[in-house]
Amino acid sequence: MAIYLDHAASTPIRAELIDDYISQLQVIGNPSSVHGLGQRARQAVEDARDQLAKSVDCHRSEVLFTSGGTEGNNLAIKGLYLGAIKADASRNVIITAGTEHHAGIDPVEWLEQTEGASAVWLPVDEFGVVDTAWLADYLEKNSSRVALISLMWVNNETGLITPIAEVTGIANKYGIPVHSDAVAAFGHVPLSFKDSSLATMAISGHKLGAPVGVGALIVARNAKLAVTSHGGGQERGIRSGTLSAPLAGTLGASAALAVAELAEVHERLSFFAKQIRSAVQAVATDAIFTRGDKPGFDGIIHFTFPGCSGDSLLFLLDSAGVCVSTGSACRAGVAQPSHVLMAMGRSEDQARGSLRISLGYTTTQEDVNSFIAAFPAAYAGAKKAGLPSS
């Protein structure tokens, strides 16, 4: 049986939710229908909305169900930008960072290409930490031109935590909305939407133990979003489309479990992460722990290996029955170095020599032991092969 250490890509559906999810799939009724069966489905959706709102710490009306993080990021970034530019045509600047997930970068670049937006890339240091002093200085001089700021709460490749409260504290002085992709954060690190002062926040169910295909966009009641998804007007008119009561219910339940278990799981994963880091650096003495000593989610362990291909390491570990990754699963198979590492100032060769080991609620000591046992031979083989010629 394969050892699964790629939870940042997707985590297994929670076993305790599967039977209820399958049962709910057999329930008839569109939540927008007015007959009894439809209203039964609607009640299931609203119960899930209440459950998720409690887990996220927001008002129930701020929870909009989506298909996942990518849709949530698109609705938020495009909606906030188009809402701002409609109110004031001079507000065409979007501030973001080159270390963002492509689900955050690509909507910004689309707005540049089609809607006259101007992206300003927030500087980051060698560990990926955003320069908040630079941000404060930029906004002091240019706040009237800024439509929004978009920054991840936890980086999905390196596990680095962004100081969201500091960012919103700077932005709020000028009334600038901030969006956060919290897909890698929610259920893994403590967070409160209410306390964050964010305008919008995207989350995804399959990183929590819900099925693939469901997520949520949390939208503050005072946020001004233009509508970019048109149809039946569901979810405050911001996200049209028939709601899935089974998916919504499983998201609400998995979120509640993740938040309830957060402290215990964090302690266990921190212990495992220390073992893995120690074992890797004992074998690969020149390996570099990517985020250094900066604050991060311990369940994501990211290294770069000088003179060694991350792809070779991945395939050799996979051959030994251990599943890990070199970075975002959304870019797997793309023959390019990690854009996250490149934005952090790494060379192409350094960016190609990365490996991400990501832990989750199902990770056991046996899983960790299996990785530690398989790593030396995999590393020796990858080091011998070296980097491919470009």
Active site residues: 330
Half-sphere exposure of 186 (CA within 13 A, CB side): 35
The number of angstroms, rounded, from the C-alpha of 193 to the middle of its chain's C-alpha atoms is 15
Q: How far apart are CA 172 and CA 222, in angstroms?
A: 13
Say which residues have a Cβ less than 8 Å from residue 212's Cβ, sequence separation at least 6.
10, 68, 205, 206
* Beta-bridge mates of residue 189: 186
Residue 98 DSSP one-character state: T
Cα–Cα distances in angstroms (integers) from residue 242 to residues 201, 212, 228, 373, in the given order: 21, 17, 16, 48
Of 310, 185, 302, the residue nearest 255 (C-alpha):
185
* Farthest-apart Cα atoms in the chain, separation: 67
Q: Residue 101, exposed/middle/buried by CB under 10 A (0-12, 13-18, 19+)? A: buried
* Beta-bridge mates of residue 218: 63, 201
Say which residues have a Cβ less than 8 Å from residue 45's Cβ, sequence separation at least 6.
31, 65, 243, 245, 248, 249
